[in-house]
Structure 1
Amino acid sequence: QAFDQVVTKDAYMAIDLFQHGVANFQLAQFQEALLDLKLPQAQLRG
């Protein structure tokens, strides 16, 4: 839940989204993890 709050406050902080994706992966929430890991990649390529 804390990750969710951080990501909603600053959607351009790629490291937050990446860590959120890692946490979702570790919780076996693979679809959410994939989305979280794709977003920072798109933002970094800007």
Structure 2
Amino acid sequence: MGFECPVLAWGLGLGRVAVPYYNIQDLRDFNRNDIKQLRSMKKWLLQPR
């Protein structure tokens, strides 16, 4: 852009909110590329608690 500008970025961190709600042991489970795991997670993520 041609100039320096200090920035600060904040995200919602919805994964961090879901960890205690769904009793997930590891936040990194949401970011894996294991299709079997993702398909099984879909079933329990969509069920009401």
Q: Normalised by the size of structure 2, how large is the TM-score? A: 0.34
Q: Which has the larger radius of gyration?
A: 2
* TM-score, normalising length: structure 1: 0.36
